[in-house]
Every structure is written in structure tokens, then in C-alpha cells.
Chains A and B, each alone.
Chain A
Amino acid sequence: MFKKLIAESAAKSPWLFHINAGSCNGCDIELVSVLTPRYDAERLGFKLAGSPRHADIVVVTGPVTTQSLPRVLRAISQVPEPRCIVTMGSCPQSGNVFRGSYSVAGPLSKYVHVDVDVAGCAPKPEAVIDGLALATKILKEKRGR
């Protein structure tokens, strides 16, 4: 019974940890807008956590520059299992306009398993919520296993 309860809860209480991997700040603002009264992701239980130890979903924005890469990986590794990694915007997915730059180490999927990609420059809040909702489903599956 508790296992089921925990699995159910895992989908209902996903806490986010946001990592900026060299983003232009566009996606960062959009992520915060998801929590504003208009979109109110908290009604689904989303909450921004201050420390990766508390997080379930890691949201990475930015093209993953060479400077940020080891820090991003370290922070991601510090998130306890089960966890989900969501890239937000086109940058961490493909490098976007920064692709091929000497200072860009991305895409992120080269280094860690990415669960959900939310494309867009910047993605609309609706798309972000959709991506996060998908991530919660994955979380529940991971928990159920």
C-alpha cells in the first residue's frame, strides 16, 4: 500500500531544480512564468527547490558551455534517485544558434540521459508545463519499478 502511495505521490509532487548552463536568460524567465498566477504550476505540485538534494526534476537551460559542463554534471549527479532530466529550450537539445561555437560543449544528451526535451526559443509556458507533466509520468514509472 505504501509503495503505491509513494508512487502516486511521486507524480503529484515533483520539485524542480533549475540549472542555467549558459542560457541567455530567456528560458529562465519563461520557467519562472510557469509558476506565476496565470499558469500556476504549483496546482500540479510543482515547486522550485533550492538545492539539488531536494529535487526530482532537473531543468537545464542554455547550450551547456565548456565552463558550465562539469558544474552541470556535478549538480545533476547530486540529485537523488529517482530523478528526471528535462532540457528546456532548443539550446541544450541542439546548441541552437550557438552550435559549433568553440565554447559550447552541448548538447546535454552527449553526457547524461535526458528524459524530456522541450523545444522552442524560448518554449511557451504551455509547452513547458506539458514537458514537465510528461516528466512526472516518467518519474512515476521510475518510482513504480
Chain B
Amino acid sequence: MSIILSALQYLGYILIFPGFLFCFLGGMLLCGIDRKIVAKMQKRVGPPVLQPFYDFFKLCGKETIVPAAAAKTTFLMAPLVGLAALVVIQLFIPVFHFSAFSGMADIIVILYLLLIPALSIIIGGAASGSPYAGVGLSREMVTVIACELPLVLVLLAVAKTVGSALGTGLCFSLTEIAAYQAANGSLILRASMIPAALAFLLVIPGETGNHPFDAAEAETEICEGMLAEYSGPPLAVYKLSHAIKMLTLTSLFVALFLGGIGGKIVNILALLGLTGGAAGALGVLLGAVVLFLLCALITIVCISLVHAATARLKIEQIFKYYWTVVSALALMSLVLAWYGL
């Protein structure tokens, strides 16, 4: 009986929160908010916040054309694999003190799991056989290389900071990082972590492929690159994956740098005099709402504002930017953390 219950519980995690339903709604809303904010920045009315949902459902109703040159199975399966992999990553990112699957993956694993969605779109694009996809995937790969170095540095800096505070020397576990912050305040409040947080914020638009780092999907130059041959539901899945990726990266930022809020949530619940299961459920709910709001805030700051204020960079500029400016910021944090500042 208890096995069935716990199986149902895990299924609930996967399908509802923090799995598919949360990802779907959260990601799409983030995307809508992003488009709205960009429009506002440009003094436009902008699309409704629900626009990504309309786009998604419209695409679901369209015809799927498989080009004659494409490898059909890979072409159709790649988007699904990417989507599933992204949702699984979201499951491993703790929502403050709540983590659905704790102790299963640490930040290095997350770093690698984040490659899978990028890889799925690359393989899918390659399988379409389009020459535009060939150009797009090479740019996507270079963008991934570009983002990898600063991301690695940021993650190592966080691991070192939390590790030396806990006395273990190193800490790669996201759950422990979240727990540490809940007890001792957010990492972003430390001077040494501010450059790393900044670097991570700059990495987010690159990882998601948002403007101005969207050379890989430049719609005016290379017809959206790897997506050039996709139509209908597979395209909808890619659009959804893109939206979820925004949610994943922003919530990873929250988990790494803003985990201290988790402690506040517990305090609030204690003040309200709630205990036991009710507090747990309410805590998760509250955590989810707070997480989403924070994600939205981060999206606005690091995706929308940057989008509205800049023009698209060329691919070698993207690479140079990440390996110099952003990496320098992250490295600064790592060195500071190394010497215990």
C-alpha cells in the first residue's frame, strides 16, 4: 500500500509539481511576461501574456511536414527527448527547502544534463537535413561552448563557498546548498558571490538562446537555424522547451543564490502557527509561488531588459564576450571564494 502511495507521490512530482504542469504553465507564463515587458520597453502594447499558450496550441493544430531529406524518427523524437530531459532537470532543482528528488544529482550533473536539451535540438536540426540547420547548429554549439566556461566557474565558486562554510571543503549537492542558505542567508548577500551571480545572470540568456545571444536561431539571417524545417507539433514542443529552459535556469539561479528565502518561508509558516502536514503542503505551495515570482523577476532583468536594449551579436562576439567579460566575473568570485573572502 505504502509503495503504491509513494509511487503515486513520485508520479505526482513528475507530472504536476515540480514536473510537467508546473513547467508548462511556469515556462509559458515567463515567456509571455518576457514578450510583454519587451513590448513595453519599446513603447508597444505587446501581445497578451497568454500569447505563448496561443502559439503553442496553434502549432499543435498545424500540419507536420517531414522533409524528404530528413531522418524521420530522429527528426520527430529529438524534440520529445529534449522536453523530457528538461522537465527531469527541473525535478532536481530544489524549490527552497522542498526537493522532489533529493540526493540524486548534484550541480555537475545538472551542468551536463543541461547539455541534453541543447543536444536534442542540435541532433533534431541535423536530422532535418537543412543547410540552414547546419549553420544554426554550429552556432548553437559554439554558444554552448561559450556559456560552459563561465557556468563551470560559477558552479565551482558556489561549491567552494558552501563547502568551506560547511567544513567539508566542497559541496556539490544542490539540496545541501539550499539547506545551507535557508539556515545562513542567501549567497548573493556575500560580497564574494556577487560577481558570480552577475555572471550567472549573463549566462542565462546565452543558455536559453535569447536575444542578443540568439545567433543560432537568427530568424532573419538563417531562417531560425535548426528549427528551419520544423512545423506543427514538433515545433510547438521546441517552443515549449525553450520556455521551460528559461524557467529551469532562473530557478537554478534562485536555488544557487537566493536560497535564503526558503528560511523566511519557514519562519512565516511558524509565525502563522502551522505545523505538520499542513505546513508542509502550504510551504510547498508558497515556495512554488515565490519561486515563480522570483523567476519572473530574473527573467525580466536578465532576458527582457537585455533583449530590448541590445542588438544581436555575431557568433564570434558571443564567444569572445562569454570567455572574457563573463568568465572574468565568475573567476573573480572563484578566486575570492578560494581565499575565503
Which residues on A are within 8 Å of B, measured CB to CB?
2, 5-10, 12-13, 15, 37, 40, 42-45, 48-51, 53-54, 56, 78, 80-82, 143
Contacts and interface: CB of A to CB of B under 8 A. Distances in A.
Contact of B219 (A42, A50, A80): A50
B61 A9 contact: yes
Nearest to B224: A50
Interface string B139-174: 000000000000000000000000000000000000
A44 B47 CA distance: 6
A80 B42 CA distance: 32
A117 to B, nearest CB: 24
Contacts of B231: 53-54, 80
Given A6-B57, A13-B57, A51-B223, 5 more contacts: A5-B57, A10-B61, A40-B44, A44-B47, A53-B235
B228 A53 contact: yes
Indicate the size class of the contact surface on chain B: 35 or more
A9 B57 contact: yes
B102 interface: no
A51 B43 CA distance: 27
A80 B63 contact: yes
A45 B47 contact: yes
Contact of A54 (B35, B56, B227): B227
Nearest to A5: B57
Contacts of B302: none
A7 B61 contact: yes
A102 B219 CA distance: 34
Contacts of B55: 9, 13, 15, 45
B58 A12 contact: yes
A49 B51 contact: no
B133 to A, nearest CB: 10
A81 B39 contact: no
Given A53-B228, A54-B235, A45 B51 contact: yes
Given A80-B64, A80-B65, A40 B224 contact: no
A45 B39 CA distance: 12
A43 B47 contact: yes
A49 B64 CA distance: 16
Contacts of B42: 37
A40 B46 contact: yes
Given A13-B58, A45-B54, A53 B47 contact: no
15 contacts: A6-B61, A8-B57, A9-B54, A10-B58, A12-B54, A13-B55, A15-B55, A37-B43, A40-B46, A42-B46, A43-B46, A45-B51, A50-B223, A50-B224, A82-B62
